[in-house]
A and B are shown apart, each in its own frame.
Chain A
Amino acid sequence: MDLKRRLAALFEVRPAWYTDLLTRIATRLNRTAIEGVLSAGSTMPDFVLPNAEGELVFSDELLAQGPLVVGFFRGGWCPFCSATLKALQEVLPDILAQGATLVAMSPDTAGHIRATKQSLGLQFELLSDVDNATALRFGVVYPVPAEYSKALLSFGIDLTRRLGAAAHLLPMPALFIAGTDGRLRYAYANGDVTDRTEPAAIVALLRSIRSDDPPVPGDDGCPVASATPDAGANDAL
């Protein structure tokens, strides 16, 4: 089953009031926040972040090894993100076979990154983007509506504790692919938690980067990030 269908199935079993809330947030994000997301052609912001094992990971060291796939997820508490991470794990051998590296990051702190990596059995780097400092530079951060924080708290998810911050900021689910020159070849973010880049498409994109190396969509910095990926990118997916 592709990721989109898996996420749709997860969405359907949530209570209606909760999915309504998610839909309202997604609509607003896709009308406003999406414009600030870095687009293909931009230079990828470099980062230094702790991984699940408590070691520092440098983006420039990863880029020196090959193309870099950077995924943003909301946190280990989010079932849609967990399903996405598991789906990414399934294609990890194919990503590595393209000479690329995969990392995923969320603003979770206090050992939650480690717990997520262990519970999902992930073999790629999971990074703690403390205070969303990296996500802000990718333009994917949004302030969580108080109504949503309250809803999560009613499910036992205390964002204040997980993020280590009284102000609740989260990244939109997003995925970027940078070439070894540090330029983004692919950028996709969506406020809809069920709309993410298909893992199989990541492998296809890496293959195309490897074969012809010019940035997608071109050197003119024409943006790819949008609420709906352009038709060409969709075909590739």
Chain B
Amino acid sequence: MASSFLDRASTVAPLGYNRFLVPPAALAVHLSIGQVYAFSTFNLPLTKLLGVTHSVPGDWDLKEIGWIFSIAIAFLGAAAALFGRWVEQVGPRKSMFAGALCFGGGFIVSAIGIHYHWLWLLYLGYGVLGGCGLGISYISPVSTLIKWFPDRPGMATGMAIMGFGGGALIAAPLSVILMNHFKTPTSNGVLETFVTMGVIYFMYMMIGVYSVRVPAENWKPEGWTPPVKPPPLVTQAQVAVDAAWRTPQFWLLWMVLCMNVTAGIGVLGQASPMIQEIFTGRVTPQMAAGFVGLLSLFNMLGRFFWASASDYMGRRNTYFVFFALGILLYSTVPSIGSAGSIPLFVAAFVIILSMYGGGFATIPAYLRDVFGTMHVGAIHGRLLTAWSAAGVLGPVLINYIRAYQIEHGVPKAQAYSVTMYIMCGLLLIGFICNFCMRPVNEKYHYRTTAGGTTAGRTTAAST
């Protein structure tokens, strides 16, 4: 039966294919969807759609617009969890194409919402449709890269997931340039920018769709043989997705990711006011914007650096470093703030944010070590619900505790101290969960009998 261009069968690489052609495919997709981190550049312009230069009655307010990003992130987690198995079944090309359609389509639907000034259509467009595109696209290339780089899975997934961090660095200035280009006396250019970005991102993601390849069955890098005695926690067995999430290891890793992300995400969202309030009168809004940019940069670089380092240090040890160093840095931040040292403050937070990114990028390789490669993409998708949980927990902790402190007479400069110590507590929980990681019990391993039927704990279909 002839297979279509999008089918998995059409993506199997010929013998001698250079595996370093695959990471750019993943990067093209992740650099596009990383735009979501820069969505806030649209927040203020969206409040001035009717008034153009200023908000007028009838214009949307910031609180209403803030929901667009929250819905997109919630649907990212939900889609990654729901469509993980489908992504594994149909292969990376079809799933990347579906992701590109949803993500690009989300911009176009939102543009229609802007045209008619229907906020619900932005929730549905960028939030729901775009969010599904984010989730599907995020997990699409991960298991493919792990299969291409069995010798360096951390480096490979780190490269792709670095793109998600880097996407914001591109999207933020690009959005501003486009809005300025399309601005007229009667429009602030957001509608045209949405249409343009929808088209640009769809086409850019097609680079990934066109160039992605999966390795042939039983392919191995030339000259590489799997270690006879794999390191502790690295399994040669396979665990199916439906069995994986019944194991304690899945939930321990869920907590590890959730705690690591919570510690970083709250800071990322609050970075600008935080540095201005801790160093009152010494840090201007422009300087604070520079601080936010540095955090984004280190968030991106940490993804590649830490995930690559994990290939040498081991996944468990890498997370031990994240948690131990994180506790040390968070516990010293209040003293650094009191001492008034801006360079030390910035240094502490860029390291913290590098480990936030590193946590995202190292987790797929950790999952591969613990559960094998068979359903790693689908398992990764389900684990990303930890991100959604952390996305609520992190900002709530930072914002509410700060507000509570200020209401009770604590000066603004010191209002973050308690939060920093709470972050230390969360990181300690993560440290303990990581410490408890052991190999998965054999009863969860996927086995195929001579008759081709599955045995063991699960009867999930193999792909």
Co-complex (A, B): no
Chain A residues proximal to chain B, CB less than 8 Å: none
Chain B residues proximal to chain A, CB less than 8 Å: none
